[in-house]
Amino acid sequence: MSAIPSGHAASPRAGRSPLPREARDTLFLLAIIAGTLLPHAGHLPWWCSAITAAVLGWRARLAWRSEALPGRWSLMAVLALVIGLTYLTHHTLLGREAGITMLAMLMALKTLELRARRDAFVVFFLGFFLVLTQFLYSQSPLVALWMLACVWALLSALVLAQMPQGVPSLKLAARIAARNTLIGVPVMLALFLLFPRLPPLWGLPKDAGARTGLSDTMSFGAFAEVANDDTIAMRLRFEGPPPAQPLLYFRAQVLSRFDGTTWTASRVTWGAPGRDPVPEGPPVRYVATLEPLRVSALPLLEVAPGATGATLQAGRQTAMRGQQGQWLTPQPIAERLRLTLEAWPRARWGLSPSRAERNESLSLPAGLNPRAVALGAELRERFAALDDDARAEAVHRELLTRIRRDGFGYTLTPGTYGETTPNAVDEFWFDRRLGFCEHFAAAYVVLMRAAGVPARVVTGFQGGDPQLQDGDLIVRMSQAHAWAEFWTSTRGWQRADPTAAVAPERVQGQPLRPPPGVFAGAMDVFSPGLLLELRGAWERLNNRWQQTVLNFSAGDQMGLLRRLGFEEPDWGTLAQIAGLLFASLGVAGAAVAAWQRRPHDPWSRQRARVRRELARLGLETRDDETPRRWAERLGALHGDAAGALAAALLQLEAQRYRQDRTAGTSQWQRQFAALCAEFRRRNA
């Protein structure tokens, strides 16, 4: 960074600032760094934010007091500490999370060795890269505006670094940076509209898709993680009115294996193709926009059509229909998907499961939950006279009756089960009887299996926002849900939601939600529903941003070309238009550069015309000469014959430097041109 050398007189502009140039520019750069790092604070480890704040504060103190920078060994010690903490936190120095942590720390530490403009340039470009990494977390319009402001500020600091002399104002640097940014906007728009939408040449590390959401496994307490997450999981636009809330079950994963603690997906191999659902009633057709959900399954409205082994294109992945009716993807969903789908909410399916599938849906870990196993055996004995299907229905009704009758409570904070005993289901069903969807679904399935009825756990989403948003039904992460299925030979797999027996409002569109915090409670008292209205307005804006900007695809590019008059556009058409546009931009840039080389203010243009006239008279002039000097040299060259021309040049000097406005510029120029022409004619 440039500074006024010690012992030199400051320029008159320096009196406007109480700080030396170097201190002012350094504090300005530190403020920019803090603003760039601020959105990352929620994603970085707490110690990273703390050390970064301490380092920036330390550097600001040194700049304010004009003290010396720390030595190299001090920086090496802090760097070693940062590397060690990064490895202890992330167990690696590679990947997105560890990489961004190190990048933030290195940018902060680099400010402690700002000894030259070269060091400042390193900080600038680290800042530009850090701006880019924020879009790995969020691509909302608010983040885009904040990052644009950060880029503008970094460019302003870069402009300041290119002005080593004097004390240029921050306002001047910001104005130049804004002008240059605006000049680049047409190029940015052209690249956005015309650059081919190609598959990525690389993928993000596995930690890039990590977020709170559904999981491919379930254990007691798992769904408490999503209770506070009101972010949108998916948007659905139906042909006609959406189904009633009790029918909105979105199937993601089917969990058949239970080890006493955790439910996991089935290991049963694929069944024979051709096991389609048997539809009942008209289908529901809809378009779903799915956010990255971290699970290797598509949460589709039950029951989605498709035989076991059928495929569905989901972005760059191909989803396959599993034997349990779920749509599985090779990798966790890490991108936004837009799918056109249909479903039969009342279809029958799974009428003929394989023997392995039935056996897995009856198995229980030996020696665990003895009271639940005993109750299941008791129910099986009580309904032994009934056939298998009737017994399954009777056990199902009995369990739901007990949930309603025996004092079970629905709560999002039931505490931890299984700490003192491995029999968590027994503890829930017979002792505490407090829980939410996962507790009820898991206990129900264990009891059904103990009674000899095939059953399994299903996870996904249930319900949606009561009010449509721009015509879309909104399903949130907080509407994650777990329910159960049991099997009969006449109806196949039937949905059973024991949570609805204790909390029927849960299947009427009320998501998992803890008690409101202090701020939300105060806002509800002040203006009930205000937070929901503000959230809805923001989400509508965010959705339009996503649909218009983030989801601008190759199909949208071709549609734009059709609207411009191209009948059958293809990639070649796109390349030709892009080439023509960029060639035009190049010509325009060359024209602007040529224009900038010419003088533009009235005095400079007039001076250039006078010099051309004098050159035609044989007098070569220099840039550092005044009109008076030209008059003297003209008299020395041509004597008294050039007296009128010399007088005109002296008049020009008076007009320029003595503010003599008696003669208009254009009038003087015409008179001077006429005198030059007359002089040339006489001396021809």
Give catalytic residues, as residue numbers: 437, 481, 497
In our burial notation (b when 16+ CB lie closer than 10 A, e otherwise), range 348-373 reads: bbbeebbeebeebbbebeeebbeebb
Which residues lie across from 348 on neighbouring strands? 278
User: Shortest CA distance to 444 belongs to which of 490, 384, 403?
Assistant: 403
Task: Give yes or no for a contact between 557 and 563, defined as CB atoms under 8 angstroms apart.
Answer: no
E-strand ranges in 492-639 read 492-496
**Residue 242: CB atoms within 10 Å:** 18
Strands 434-435 and 409-410: parallel
Radius of gyration over every alpha carbon of the chain, rounded to an integer in angstroms: 37
Give, for 262, the enclosing helix (H) or strand (E).
strand 262-265
SS (H, E, C) 272-303: CCCCCCECCCCCEEEEEEECCCCCCEECEECC
Mark residue 409 as left, alpha or beta (left: phi above 0; alpha: psi -120 to 50; beta: remaining). Answer: beta
How wide is the angle at C-alpha 502 spanned by C-alphas 497 and 507, nearest 5°? Answer: 50
User: Shortest CA distance to 477 belongs to which of 218, 223, 237, 255?
Assistant: 223
Determine the Cα–Cα distance for residues 153 and 160; give it in Å rounded to an integer: 11
What DSSP string runs through 613-666? HHHHTT----TT--HHHHHHHHHHHHGGGGHHHHHHHHHHHHHHHS---SS-HH
Task: Give yes or no for a contact between 26 and 63, defined as CB atoms under 8 angstroms apart.
Answer: yes
Sheet strands side by side (includes 284-290): 337-343, 284-290, 232-238, 473-476
Task: Give yes or no for a contact between 52 and 37, defined as CB atoms under 8 angstroms apart.
Answer: yes
Q: Any idea what DSSP says for residue 472?
A: B
Residues contacting 351, CB < 8 A, separation 6+: 278, 489, 492
What DSSP string runs through 201-260? SS---GGGG--SS--SSEETTGGGGGTT--SEEEEEEESSSPPPGGG-EEEEEEEEEE-S
Which residues lie across from 296 on neighbouring strands? none
How wide is the angle at C-alpha 466 spanned by C-alphas 397 and 409, nearest 5°? Answer: 40
Residues in the chain: 684
